[in-house]
Amino acid sequence: MISGFLIAIPSLDPIYNILGRGDYFILLLLLLVILMVALLTERVEKVRTLNKLNQELKTEAMKLEDANNELEAFAYSVSHDLRVPLRAIDGFSRIVIEDYEKELDEEGVRLLNVIRDNTKKMGQLIDDILLLSRAGRQEMNNSKLDMTSLAKNVYNEFQQDVSSRNIDFVVEDMPPVDADRALMTQVLTNLIGNAIKFTKKTENPRIELGYTEDEANYIYHVKDNGAGFNMKYYDKLFGLFQRLHSQEEFEGTGVGLSIVQRIISRHNGRVWGEGEVGKGATIYFSLPKTK
């Protein structure tokens, strides 16, 4: 608009000759006022449009948050309600096997055991969905956490699983951090549990926990020399119900890393990983330093 105004000024020379110097400058001043009004009007309109878009964005964000809350509440309710019929299926299947085993042939017993195995898997899936829901809904109570001690305590909870294995478990001295103890325990439980699971076929299993840091964050990691994964499928690593290994190779529901990601996100951190097939994997998560 301004460039057009400047281009138009030389074309006013004939008018200057007619009006004279005084009237000519009055005309220029009038044109300048018109130009400023036009620019101001355009600016006001852009601000109005931007404010409208911001308001629409806020409205959509609120709708999305409400939808997510409703979905989490629904998932929690459904998962909780499914526990009762699953217990019934498992319980009655066990009773049939114990009380009527002599009246069943080998195939009948096998099928009932398949039912029991699948109800256990379904129960684990329900438990994980409930954990995922709690990870997003649970009130946070941050305190100064000794991450080194917490990691060792979490590993000790797996003694029944690792007592017959010679796992080289190494924990560096890691800095304390402000975080919710229950939620961070869940993070380390999932990550250390995965490392234990994915090294079960490794001849000399090793699990390492350590950290690095940058100006604003502590960056913790859990590293193993287990099955690893193909980085080509990295985008599925933290996806809900996504698995990079078959159920036959390694048991699981595909929810654990989604829980980790949600918890770390609530702590204003981020989580990522790297791996190589047959050589292991490393999962990193950052947590902000406190001032």
Q: Is the pLDDT of residue 21 over 60?
A: no
Percent of the chain exceeding pLDDT 70 equals 81
Mean pLDDT of 97-105: 83
Structure confidence at residue 291 (pLDDT): 58
- The whole-number average pLDDT for the span 263-280 is 91
This prediction's pTM = 0.65
Q: What is the pLDDT of residues 186-221, one digit of tens each?
A: 999 999 999 999 898 888 999 999 999 998 999 999
CA distance 151 to 253: 23
Name which of 96, 130, 131, 100 is nearest 116 in CA terms: 96
The chain-wide mean pLDDT, for the chain, equals 81
Q: Is it true that domain 144-288 has CATH number 3.30.1490.100?
A: no
In terms of Cα–Cα distance, which of 209, 233, 220, 207 is closest to 270?
A: 220
Residue 64: the pLDDT is 78
pLDDT over threshold 70, residue 232: yes
Structure tokens at 41: 């009007």
| Phi and psi, residue 280, nearest 5° | 110, 180
Position 131 pLDDT exceeds 80: no
The residue extents of the domains of the chain are 10-137, 144-288
Q: How far apart are CA 145 and CA 264, in angstroms?
A: 14
